[in-house]
Amino acid sequence: MAVKPYGASKQGVTLGNLQHDAAASSAEIEARHFNFFYGHFKALSDISIAICRNRVTALIGPSGCGKTTFLRAINRMHDQTAGARSEGELLLNGSDVNVLSDLTALRKRVGMIFQRPNPFPMSIFDNVAYGLRVEAQRTPRGEIHDRVEKALRDAFLWDEVKNKLHNSGLALSGGQQQRLCIARAIAVQPEVVLMDEPCAALDPIATLAIEDLIREIVKKYTIVIVTHNMQQAARVSHYTAFFTTDASRTGQMVEYGQTQAIFTNPRDRRTEDYISGRFG
């Protein structure tokens, strides 16, 4: 594919080699031989990946390959699911997320954007302020307004909503709702923002707006994005991990590297088949 991944060219890196990306100083998230199970079903097998700080890493692959499972393991959204468990290490800044006892402390550092925009049925202001007001954050009252405004500005939403902050978040369009959710997530200044197919429910124009936003906020945050849209992965991500399933439907990571390398010169046959549209 001749799609040029965003940002890859100007960093002058060797294709397929993460070590040479000088700007990405260190790995923010690192999985080592990570396995994941739903009851007896093994959903992920032996995932080892180092995700760079202040970079967009895209997880692509066919449906059911475990990319969303991996994403949700990072902020332990699976804790809600009965029978879900993991093996191996999943490190956030060097400490294993699975040994943390305080989930809220983890989720302060790792925000999440979902497939369908899910603003709460409350005002736009209260939506963005929600994360600031939770027990785990304890933002001083006087700061909340400024931080809400800043988050909405950072999410390119301020000009559209500044005169209706007290209208319901549900009255916004789908694209605006998703940007509201992004504002809500970055208002609490996490280190990592996980995005689970954030544009799946959006039209092309709204999708481009979200992609612009991703390119902007990645300067401050580490972004991991699951997407079914390979053009999107090529457009916004610096690194791409390709997941697929084996015969027993267990997900595994086939290839991981610079997005440009994955898309122009895949090393694995399965990656090539997938990105050239031969399956998946």
Which positions lie near another protein, rule CB under 8 A?
Answer: 75, 77, 80, 82, 103-105, 107-108, 111-112, 114, 116, 118-123, 125-126, 129-131, 134-137, 145, 148, 162-168, 170-171, 181, 184-185, 188
Nearer to another protein, 177 or 240 (CB): 177
- Shortest Å, Cβ 155 to another protein: 15
| Minimum distance, C-beta of residue 53 to another protein, in the bound complex (Å) | 20
**Which residue from 117, 116, 111, 132 is spatially nearest to 181, judged by alpha carbons?**
117
Minimum distance, C-beta of residue 119 to another protein, in the bound complex (Å): 8
Side by side, the strands of the sheet bearing 251-258 are 95-96, 84-92, 27-38, 41-52, 251-258, 239-245, 56-60, 222-226, 192-196, 110-113
- Closest approach, Cβ 231 to another protein, in A, equals 26
Count of CB atoms within 10 A of residue 18's CB?
19
Task: Provide, for the chain, the percentages of residues in helix, strand and coil under a 3-state DSSP scheme, each rounded to the nearest 5.
Answer: 40, 25, 35
110/94 Cα distance (integer angstroms): 14
Measured from the CB atom, is 3 or 170 closer to another protein? 170
Q: Which helix (H) or strand (E) holds 21?
A: none
Decide whether 191 or 273 has the Cβ nearer to another protein: 191
| Sign of the torsion formed by the C-alpha atoms of 138, 168, 216 and 197 | positive
Question: Is the Cβ of residue 19 or residue 135 nearer to another protein in the bound state?
Answer: 135
Which residue lies nearer to another protein by CB, 54 or 118?
118
